[in-house]
């Protein structure tokens, strides 16, 4: 199970690196939009290991927030700006602001299925599963092609939970084995002392 999860994660990181190269090329070509900066941020976020991309994360988070605020001030693509800000708040664990922003995006574009999908994932993160399911259902109602995406997400969550459960069981088993080894060594020392 762990190898399967590792393989999936490694493949995903490779995909993220390719997406990052593509989006950085767009930015270098002058396409400095909230969505492009958010994509770069998300790529760095998902590739992050041992905080090696922390500087890039902070840089793109600032750029997303700056351009999103400018878009809101200029009344340009406002719902998308709020959605982008919601992601930044979510990944910085500011769920209250994240929910405010994604709710604002839904208020502005109530027929946008992607926003319900995003909010559903936010609800899932904070363990409000019934609200998450309601948003996933609404997203699917608005855009039936999202059904497969939602199912893949649920399967991935199940694999990750199963992997974590197996890891916990492994560590419990190792703890039990360690106790038996310590007890065996103790008994052996006591016998040697009594000889």
- Percent of the chain clearing pLDDT 70 (strictly above): 76
CATH of the domain at 70: 1.25.40.10
> pLDDT at position 103, please?
97
In a domain? residue 104: yes
pLDDT score, position 1: 47
For helices 113-125 and 129-142, the axis angle rounded to 10 degrees is 160
- Does 87 map to a domain? yes
What is the separation of C-alpha 176 from the centre of its chain, rounded to a whole number of angstroms? 34
Q: What pTM was estimated for this model as a whole?
A: 0.63
Interacting residues of 48 by C-beta distance below 8 A, sequence separation 6+: 54, 57
Question: Which DSSP string corresponds to 142-184?
Answer: H-TTHHHHHHHHHHHHHHHHHHHHHHHHHHHHHHHHHHHHHHH
Domain total of the chain? 1
Q: What is the pLDDT of residue 138?
A: 92
The verdict on residue 10 lying in a domain is: yes
| Domain around 54 | 2-168
**Residue 14 counted as domain residue:** yes
The confidence score (pLDDT) of residue 151 equals 76
173 falls within a domain: no
pLDDT at 156: 65
- 32 inside domain: yes
Helices (H), the chain: 2-28, 34-47, 54-73, 78-91, 95-108, 113-125, 129-142, 146-194
Domain presence at residue 178: no
Using 50 as the pLDDT threshold, list the residues of the chain that sit under it: 1
């Amino acid at each position: 199970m762990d190898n399967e999860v590792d393989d999936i994660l490694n493949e995903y990181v490779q995909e993220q690196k390719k997406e990052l190269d593509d989006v950085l090329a767009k930015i270098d070509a002058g396409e400095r939009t909230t969505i492009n900066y958010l994509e770069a941020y998300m790529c760095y976020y998902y590739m992050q290991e041992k905080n090696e991309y922390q500087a890039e994360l902070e840089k793109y988070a600032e750029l997303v927030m700056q351009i999103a605020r400018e878009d809101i001030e200029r009344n340009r693509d406002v719902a998308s700006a709020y959605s982008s800000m919601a992601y930044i708040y979510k990944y910085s664990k500011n769920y209250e602001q994240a929910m405010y922003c994604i709710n604002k995006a839904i208020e502005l574009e109530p027929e946008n299925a992607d926003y319900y999908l995003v909010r559903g994932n936010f609800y899932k993160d904070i363990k409000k599963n019934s609200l998450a399911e309601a948003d996933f259902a609404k997203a699917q109602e608005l855009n039936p092609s999202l059904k497969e995406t939602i199912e893949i997400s649920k399967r991935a969550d199940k694999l990750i939970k199963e992997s974590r459960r197996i890891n916990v069981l492994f560590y419990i088993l190792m703890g039990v084995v360690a106790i038996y080894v310590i007890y065996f060594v103790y008994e052996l020392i006591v016998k040697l002392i009594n000889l």
